[in-house]
Amino acid sequence: MDECLTPAVLAPSRGFSVDVEVPITFKEAAVGFGQSVVQLLVGAPLQTGEVNETGKVYKCDPGSRRCQEIPIQSRATRCYGVQWGRLCGEGTWSQVCGPTVHRACGENMYVNGYCFLLDQSLQQLRRIPDTLAECPRRATDIALLIDGSGSIRPYDFGKMKTFLSEIMKRFRSADTQFALMQYSDEFKQHFDFSQYRRSRNPDSLVRLVEQLRGTTHTASAIRKVVRELFTSRKGARDEATKVLIVITDGEKYEDPLSYSDAVPEAERAGIIRYAIGVRRVGVGPELSAVIDADALVSPVPPSTP
């Protein structure tokens, strides 16, 4: 049970602002009771209430030494702070603030808060703001570029297809669209952003993808994606965040282009680049030239022998 000592109002003098000789003590079972005290309004920020409601505010009476909860429509609010003030022409008012309303937006957690104005009778006048802003929505276009060269074992290529399907399923509820291109020394566009938007069925989009085989022209494939997939004609959106994910099992081979021929184009187009290693392949010095500085991704788990 938490306790609260009330401050006494004293004339200016040397001494304490709290009556330590004959203090009045209020006790409540509310968690965190007494963390804020203003004019006998006492906050209990950790006390839970109904579903998604945290934080209570109490009005305490020195005569009875009892405290009574003040009803506040504070869904999902922590009432940490109690303030006292005066509005011109509106009399005395109290302000109760709860700064930690937690809300999940996709994979991110946003922390906002409310303040509540109370009148002289401690009735709720208004809530500031009236409502919280909607979750921020940012469109994202993701191009998946997969290595289908002969060094990829068929079993691992199958696992790669399953991996792609799972990635797309994870983003079904988001404003995200995908395109898929496979490369070796050949290039095959399996679906563009417009085709994905019409289907939105990852399993059916990936099911008929067959491995090309051949050598590994990663740099040429990157340039092809930048020039041919990230276009409005293929359904890419100007306002969207552009992401390229390269999935490969190693270094490029017999590619007529170097990464310095392709990567600057992607950078100028504002494309964020990730690389994922297949089996036990890490992202070595060569692939480090492909990706953004903080875009290193762990390898896809290896297949069984």
Structure tokens at 138: 């940012």
Taking the C-alpha atoms of residue 32 and residue 10, their distance in angstroms, rounded to an integer, is: 27
In the three-class reduction of DSSP (H, G, I as helix; E, B as strand; rest coil), residue 72 is classed as coil
**115 and 46 together in one domain:** yes
**51 and 149 together in one domain:** no
**16 and 91 together in one domain:** yes
**69 and 156 together in one domain:** no
Q: Which residues pair with 189 in a beta bridge?
A: 181
Given 100, 128, 156, the domain boundary residue is 128
266 found inside a domain: yes
Neighbours of 32 (CB within 10 A): 19
Does the pTM exceed 0.75?
no
**185 and 248 together in one domain:** yes
CATH of the domain at 276: 3.40.50.410
60 found inside a domain: yes
134 found inside a domain: no
Residue 250 near residue 282, CB atoms below 8 Å: no
Domains: count for the chain: 2
**157 and 296 together in one domain:** yes
Full residue range of the structural domain in which residue 21 is found:
2-128
**197 and 273 together in one domain:** yes
Give per-residue pLDDT as tens, 36-77: 555 567 777 777 666 556 677 788 877 787 888 887 765 434
**Largest Cα–Cα distance in the chain?**
90
79 — phi, psi (to 5°)? -90, 80
148 found inside a domain: yes
133 found inside a domain: no
Structure tokens at 1: 């049970």
275 — phi, psi (to 5°)? -130, 135
Kindly tell me if the per-residue pLDDT of 10 is higher than 80.
no
**94 and 161 together in one domain:** no
**148 and 293 together in one domain:** yes
Give per-residue pLDDT as tens, 183-233: 999 999 999 999 999 998 999 999 999 999 999 999 999 999 999 999 999
279 found inside a domain: yes
Given 69, 104, 128, the domain boundary residue is 128
Kindly tell me if the per-residue pLDDT of 30 is higher than 80.
no
